[in-house]
Every structure is written in structure tokens, then in C-alpha cells.
Amino acid sequence: MNDLQTLRRGAPALPVSGHTAPVLSVRDLTTSFHTRGGWTSVARDVSFDISPGETRAIVGESGSGKSVTSMAIMGLLPHGTSRSEGRVRLEGREILNLQERDMQRIRGKQISMVFQEPMTSLNPVYTIGDQLAETLRAHRRLSRSDARKAVRELLDQVRIPNAERRIDEYPHQMSGGMRQRVMLAMALAARPKVLIADEPTTALDVTIQREILELISDLQMEIDMGVLFITHDMGVVAEIADRTLVMYRGDVVEQGATTEIFAAPRERYTRDLLAAVHRLGDMSGKPGPQRFSVADPASDVSRQAIGAQGPILEVTDLSVHFPIRGGMLRRSPGAVHAVENVSFSLAAGETLSIVGESGCGKSTTGRALLRLTEPTSGQVKIDGTDMGGLSREALRETRKRAQMIFQDPYGSLNPRSTIGEALVEPFVAHAIGTVADGERKARGLLDRVGLQRDAMGRYPHEFSGGQRQRAAIARALMLDPRIIIADEAVSALDVSVKAQVCDLLLDLQESLGLSYVFISHDMAIVERVSHRVAVMYLGEIVEIGSRAQVFETPGHPYTRRLLDAVPRPDPALRGTRPPIETRELKSPIRAPGFQAPKWLWNWPPVTSSLPKDDTAPACRRSGTREMAGADRPRPSLSHDPAPVRERSARSEARQRCVQGGKKLVQVLVLCRQQRADLQAFIPLAADSYKHARLAQKLDEPRRALR
């Protein structure tokens, strides 16, 4: 077994020994594409080696040549319009200029690839089992029955639960994390010597991302496989890579041992990449959001007054249900409860971030605020105007005060319209002014978001991802809104571009007094830009409070799970965290007539500061000492408590013990509804109060509840 395998869990990354023969060797690889002006090189003189059991990362911004290099190695670039020069040796065999028939025998068997988006990589009309079996039968010559048996073993190997049932599911029936596991299973079906992973975790939630990274490391140990990991996330690099290669605009600017690059980067571009990485805990002790490029802490954005004029957005008991139709008569066997009894408020100049895993209801909540998705029940007020029941014209007028930035700017911008036309259109549609007035304002906003004025005449496809996101921000500002709902606005951007866009949002907030509902699964970015944070799980807010409360003293186990899964950009800390538990988000589908449990109590009134003896994170987490109105915290009851330990009655009861004896009766009612083990609850309560009489008070109700 290779000594490199000892690095996977318990030790930091070390330089690779030169005595190990490389399984993949790349020398002077140059990739070019044919354009109208001739051949244009997009990746030049790339050289590296990968030994068995080693992980080498290629990092850089979009357009740096990372993915093109990997596609050239796999022989997947189009013939005629692309050209690859240099040498690529796989186990000593030159593969760069092999015929397509010969490469088909090698791909999947000796070298495999996992692509960034599994939904577009998997065939939607074939089951998971059929697609995996195709690879097995092609490379291992198995019969149909043997292939199906091997598929079940592969699904078990990549830790997909209920493999026997899920083997017949289609890609759309699986979550993003499970689809990525299927892609891993397909890539590892023939036990290749090299795995190329091209941004396999970029769009995944932090918990799913960590599960995938741990899975790759474990499988790598089992079959002594070399891994080429392509990413722009330096935190992920620190977690898994033994050696790192940094690319910029097609050139290799630096490479070496990961520990050395993080400790003493030689090139300025590498230093800029590392400087743009936010580390959890960097905001400790800071009262408000802060720019990435800030040099003086005194320039903190938090200097502005928050909420001096009261809330401008109030959300009370917002619920969104999607009925399920099926059968010959199109009857509804149930409904997807995407959002359930969500309440919060937003003050002028404040940023409230909503975080959680995919499917928890974050984006649906954001769309329901503007009635882009119609709420089932609840109330949303913008500047005191109730959004429910408004006529079409009144709703259109109210939406001028709240605009939305969508996750994919390329999908939200009309590809047939120039950026100037896209910006001027809402200005003219709302009769704010003439086309000339709109063009003058659009040019000013483009200057403000860092785009040149000639961008007015260019189309969306002529911009990079970060530039398109800046254009989307400018369009949202055309109507002078007071509220911006940013739905995963920076999730898919490179680390440096992400920092630039976040700085831009904070600058605009300070100069224009904007309020943000910032929807994201990137906990590190959320800590940087937020005043308050709400954590969603299964459509409900399970924790809400100030940024410091949620990040420094999280009260809910689900919040702690999210924070524990964030990659730490320090190779020296590799292997110091326990493995994360693998699981999928529970289904939000409920039977017809289901009613969410009502809350049993109100929380303490708003006060100006925390009591000195308040040592329970669950008490501080609520943030009620900073909120007003609809932003009252209400711990949710679990609708399926058995598989969700963090929302068990015992955990709820223990957290409530610190509220005092006056809550005792309500706690016992909660325990009874959740069928909690009261015998086990007694010592927890007694220990929290350090009062022997509590156990006596609990004993009599416990006997009565048996």
C-alpha cells in the first residue's frame, strides 16, 4: 500500500516522494482552438505527474484552462476545431494521439472522469442501474444479471442507501448529492488507475460537499488510485490535495506541495487567491459585515444605523405548498410543504441571510416574498403594504421596491438583448422616464458596479460569469428598490470574483441604504456579509439570530452540522475533524389535510443585552434581543422525529430547561407530544437547573404520562 494513503485522514499533506513511478505523466501539454483568426492556445506548456494514491489539485479562475486541460487528457475535445500538443503517458503508454477506438477502451477502465454537473452528464431517459450496467458490461464483459449485482455493490460502495430500490430510479428522482455519488460509481466501476474530478462539488451544499470529498478519499485508499481534482475552492484544496498546480489565463504560474503553497506562496496571483478565501471565525468580535478588501477595521460597514425606522419587510407564518397530482383522475395524494410557517423581519440597511441545504425551501421563500411563487398562507408586508390580495397593477407597483438577483445570470438575461436593453426595459416599462433617461441611468449604474460603458452594446454571452452577475445587479438597481433578494447570487462564482461581488453588494448597501435577503449555502460568505442569519430545514426556520450568535454559539444541531462541514483552508488541519454522517434531506411531502403543529409558547421579550449568567447557546441563538415584530423565534416541532435526532423532543426539552421553571409545563407537553423518554430527560433537566426539587416536580408528571 502506498505511503500516501496515510495522508488521507490523520496527517497533513506532504511532498510526494520521487521514488514512486507516476501513473499519469503530462509534459508540455498545449491545447488550442481554431478561430477566425487562426489557432488560439488556451492552455500552454502544462506539466505534472500523479503517483498512485496521490491527489493533485489544479486551481484557478474560470477561463484559466483547468477543464480544457482535463478534457485534452481524456481525448474529449472536438476533432478538427481543437488541437493538443505535448505528451500524456498513462502507466507508461502514450495516449494523447491514440485513435478514438483505442481511447474508448481506456476511458472508464484505466482513466475516468467525474463532471461538474451530474444532471447533464446522466441520461434522463435511462435508470441509474441501466447506465451503470452499460459501463460494467462494456469494460468487464459481465452478463445482464451479473452486471445488476455489480451495480448494487457499486451503489453500496458509494454509500447510496436502499441500493436495491434506487437502482431502478431515474436521475431526476435523486438529490444533487446522490446524483454525484452515481457519477462516482460510474467512474469507479472498472476500478481505474486515475480519476479526474472536474469541479465535482462546486454547486453542492457544504454538507454534501464534505460527504463527496470524504467518499473520494476513502475510495482512493481502497484501490490506490491517483486523483486529479479541478476546483477554484482553496478550502477544498486544503482538505484533499497533496500537491497543487495554480493556473492563470492558460499558464501554470506555480506548483508544489499544498502545505508549501498555503504557507509561502511565491506568486502574487496565488497570494490573491488565498487572500480571497474567507475563514470561519475571521469575523469573530466584529459587529457587522466587512469587505474582503478592507484594510482598516474601522471602515466596517456596520457603522450605519440598522433598523432606526422599523422593519421594511415583515413576514408572518408564510407557507408554500405544492399539490401533487397523479392518477387517471388527477387526484392529489398529498402536497410538498416547501415552506412552513416562516416568520422574520428585515430592517432598513440590514442583511438577513437564509441558509440551509438544497431542498430546504430557501429559494421558494425568496420567490414567495415577491409572489413570483404564490404563497399558500401567511402574510408578507413590504413598507407596510400587504402583498396578499393586491391587484396585478398594485403588485407590479409594489415590486419596484423589492427586486431579485437570480442564481444564474445567464439564464435570467435575455440572450437576444444587449445589456443596455436589458437595463432600460424595466425603467421604461414602469414609466419612470424616457429611453434616453434610462440609458443615462444605466450607464451610471454600470460604472457603479464596475463595468465599462461599452457594455451597453454587448450581449450576455460576451461577458464572464462575474461580469454577468454585475450586470444583473445593475438591472435590479434600475428601479431604485429598497430591498434586494439575492438568491445564490455568488454560489457558482470563482473565489476572487465572489469576493469582488460581495464587496460590491456591501458598498451599495452602505451608499444606498439597501436591505438584503441573502440566500446561500456558502456559510463562509454568509458570515462575511450578514447582520443576522436564519437557518432553514425542511421548510422551517429552526434557528435565527445575529451573525455572532449563530456562528459562534449555534444552538441547533443542524446549524452545527452545517458549520462543521465548511472546508477549512489550512492543510495542517486535515484529518482533525470526525467524518460527517451520510444522509439525505427528509422528504417534505405531507398527506392531504396535514397541519403543522402550533407553537406552545412565546419567547422572552426583547431586551437590550444578554444577562451575564446566560450560558445556554439555545437561549441566545434566538436573537430576540435584537428583533421586533414578526421576527419572533419559535422552535419547530419535528414532523418525522425518528430519523432527525437534532429535532428530537429530548434535545428540545433540554434546550428549554434554561428558560426557567415557568416553562416546565409546556416542556412536558412537548415531551408527551413527541413521545420523549422522560426517564432520560429527568437527569438532564436536574443537571441544567442544579436543583434537586426539579426532579421531584418531574417525577409526578412522568408517572401520570405513562
What average pLDDT does this structure show over 116-120? 72
Write the DSSP assignment of 448-512 as a string of letters: HTT--GGGGG--GGGS-HHHHHHHHHHHHHTT--SEEEEESTTTTS-HHHHHHHHHHHHHHHHHH
Work out the pLDDT band at 196, boundaries 50, 70, 90. Answer: very high
Among 169-173, 513-517, 702-706, which stretch is predicted with the lowest mean pLDDT? 702-706
What average pLDDT does this structure show over 447-454? 83
Most confident of the ranges 74-78, 207-211, 465-469, 596-600: 74-78
Query: 504-508: long-range contacts (C-beta < 8 A, 24 or more apart)?
Result: 504/449, 504/450, 504/470, 504/473, 505/473, 505/529, 506/289, 506/290, 506/291, 506/301, 507/291, 508/448, 508/449, 508/473, 508/477
Among 11-15, 107-111, 378-382, 454-458, which stretch is predicted with the lowest mean pLDDT? 11-15
CB 227 within 8 A of CB 56: yes
Give the pLDDT confidence score for residue 387 in this predicted structure: 93
What average pLDDT does this structure show over 409-428? 89
Is pLDDT at 354 greater than 60 in this prediction?
yes
Most confident of the ranges 111-120, 219-228, 326-335, 395-404: 395-404
Contacts of 346 (CB under 8 A, 6+ apart): 311, 312, 313, 314, 352, 483, 515, 517
Q: What's the mean pLDDT when you consider all of the chain?
A: 78
Work out the pLDDT band at 309, boundaries 50, 70, 90. Answer: low
Give the pLDDT confidence score for residue 636 in this predicted structure: 38
Give the pLDDT confidence score for residue 12 in this predicted structure: 42
Among 220-229, 571-580, 637-646, which stretch is predicted with the lowest mean pLDDT? 637-646
Is pLDDT at 164 greater than 60 in this prediction?
yes
What average pLDDT does this structure show over 350-367? 89
What average pLDDT does this structure show over 183-206? 83
Is pLDDT at 509 greater than 80 in this prediction?
yes
Please report, rounded to a whole number, the percentage of residues in the chain having pLDDT higher than 90: 33
Among 228-237, 512-521, 616-625, which stretch is predicted with the lowest mean pLDDT? 616-625
| DSSP at 107 | B
pLDDT in tens, 318-352: 999 988 776 556 666 778 888 999 999 999 999 99
pLDDT higher at 498 or 93? 93
Give the pLDDT confidence score for residue 491 in this predicted structure: 73
- pTM here is 0.71
Work out the pLDDT band at 307, boundaries 50, 70, 90. Answer: low
Query: 425-432: long-range contacts (C-beta < 8 A, 24 or more apart)?
Result: 426/475, 426/478, 426/479, 427/478, 427/479, 430/396, 430/400, 430/479, 432/479
Please report, rounded to a whole number, the percentage of residues in the chain having pLDDT higher than 70: 75
CB 350 within 8 A of CB 530: no
Give the pLDDT confidence score for residue 205 in this predicted structure: 74
Q: How many residues does the chain have?
A: 706
Give the pLDDT confidence score for residue 585 in this predicted structure: 57
CB 660 within 8 A of CB 603: no
pLDDT higher at 118 or 95? 95
CB 227 within 8 A of CB 55: yes
Is pLDDT at 423 greater than 50 in this prediction?
yes
Contacts of 387 (CB under 8 A, 6+ apart): 369, 370, 371, 380, 381, 395, 398
- Listed residue (315, 332, 312) closest to 324, CA to CA: 332
CB 338 within 8 A of CB 544: no
Give the pLDDT confidence score for residue 687 in this predicted structure: 44
Residues facing 403 on adjacent strands:
484
Is pLDDT at 701 greater than 70 in this prediction?
no
CB 489 within 8 A of CB 405: yes
What average pLDDT does this structure show over 564-574? 82
3-state secondary structure of 152: helix
- Listed residue (635, 629, 633) closest to 666, CA to CA: 635
3-state secondary structure of 530: coil
